Structure 1
Amino acid sequence: MPTPTPPSAVTPENFAVVAVAASAGGIHGLVTLLEGLDSELPVPLLVVQHLDPRHRTVLAEILNRRTGLAVKLAEQDETAFAGTVYIAPPDRHLLVRPDGTLSLSRSELVHFLRPSADLLFESVAGAYGPRAIAVVLTGTGNDGAMGVDAVKSRGGTVIAQDPRTAEFRGMPEAAVGTGAVDFVLPLEEIPAVIRGLVEIKK
């Protein structure tokens, strides 16, 4: 297992974080995404997948079996390390601070949702500016659209699954509709683009 790289060790010209949002159809989307990423990915991945708040989730265990990356439910005040996937727990907003530590919140629902992709994306935009990547996968509704606008306005990069290839097109379609998306891609092509963006230039 490679030694985790704290966010402060990532040089300013490199990307520092990837934030991913998914809803309906998202488990398949996340499996495909993570299977295509290298276990030595030089950034952390923060994930909002809309989950039933009434039940304990086994999403981390499912994804852990399908990827070389470490996958876990995010915990309050932990540091987000490279090569690790942090999933928002059911009924908690997931946010990240500029020092790379995570925050979980029970603040009010956003568009009837908690966790909210918009809040995650807005927090990575505020924390990392042009060093943030936001990814919107399959899902119903429009969660993430305001957030991708925030990421783009701070100079970050936005990727959306091509709505025509998404199991549920609402979320990626809303993201594309903002005009803030840099890459609109079939799901299978997204991991290669992420790898190309975050690869540390020697």
Structure 2
Amino acid sequence: MFDTDRIGAVVIGASAGGVEALNHLLPALPKGFGLPVLIVVHVRQGQPSLLPGLFASRCEIAVAEPFDKDEIAPGTVYFAPPGYHMLVEAEGGAAPAIALSIDPPVRFSRPSVDVLFESAAHAYGPRLLGIVLSGANDDGARGARAIREAGGACWAQNPETATAPAMPLAAIAQDAVDDVLTLDEMVLRLSQCIGRQP
């Protein structure tokens, strides 16, 4: 059962078809949604990302492309910059912050969903919710497993509703998800987090 009282952050991974899925999820988050949302979308390197600007005009909560060492703020959506892994750091009791890395691609991707999920699982432990959306490869399956092993929860988009079902199917095959949901079902559950602070 999804327990909103224990969730401190949400991480989302997407690839092919993921922007359409995010366009369903993110504008539905109400003003007052108190949790940070960190997102990796596979985008072509060498080009500026249009996603922060695109979603900032459609969302009730703040949307940003972070800088290295930015402290993670509640009620804010962060998109990983093209060409950088986005990680979560929380050392020595300090507030969680974003770290950007140019380490080699993982599963041919930089940013990598697995890198975000694994680092966030280490930082947030059982207070993390991971979401695997539409995508054409298996990036995110290993990270979703790390979230569950750390005590967090993970959802996968119902593959029948995904433009590219490979990514959610891979997470499901790894026994790395708690629930397989439609986008409407995710919106309904996330709406329970209104007013929640990390």
- TM-score when scaled to structure 2? 0.91
Match of 2:107 among 104, 111, 122: 111
Tell me what 1:44 maps to. Answer: 36
**Post-superposition offset of 1:35:** 1.7
Does structure 1 conserve the Cα–Cα contact (< 8 Å) formed by 2:33 and 2:193?
no
Q: Quote the RMSD (CA, aligned, Å).
A: 1.5
Does structure 2 conserve the Cα–Cα contact (< 8 Å) formed by 1:14 and 1:200?
no
Tell me what 1:194 maps to. Answer: 190
Structure 2 unaligned segments of length 5 or more: list them.
none
Deviations 1:42-86 (A, max 9, x none): 110000001111211111111111111111112100011111100
Tell me what 1:87 maps to. Answer: 79
Given residue 24 of structure 1, which amino acid in structure 2 is its aligned partner?
A
Query: Would you identify which runs of 4 or more consecutive aligned residues in structure 1 move more than 2 Å?
Result: 194-201
Secondary structure at the aligned position of 2:154 is classed as: strand
Match of 1:150 among 146, 151, 175: 146
Percent of aligned pairs with the same amino acid: 38
CA distance in 1: counterparts of 2:110 and 2:135, whole angstroms = 15
Secondary structure at the aligned position of 2:6 is classed as: coil
Secondary structure at the aligned position of 1:28 is classed as: helix
The 5 Å alignment of 1:1-202 reads 14-98=6-90, 99-196=95-192, 200=196
Deviations 1:79-110 (A, max 9, x none): 11111100000010000112211000000110
CA distance in 1: counterparts of 2:68 and 2:137, whole angstroms = 28
Q: 1:197 to 1:174 in 2, by over 3 A?
A: farther
**Post-superposition offset of 1:148:** 0.4
CA distance in 2: counterparts of 1:58 and 1:200, whole angstroms = 29
Q: 1:198 to 1:117 in 2, by over 3 A?
A: farther
Does structure 1 conserve the Cα–Cα contact (< 8 Å) formed by 2:159 and 2:168?
yes
Structure 1 unaligned segments of length 5 or more: list them.
1-12
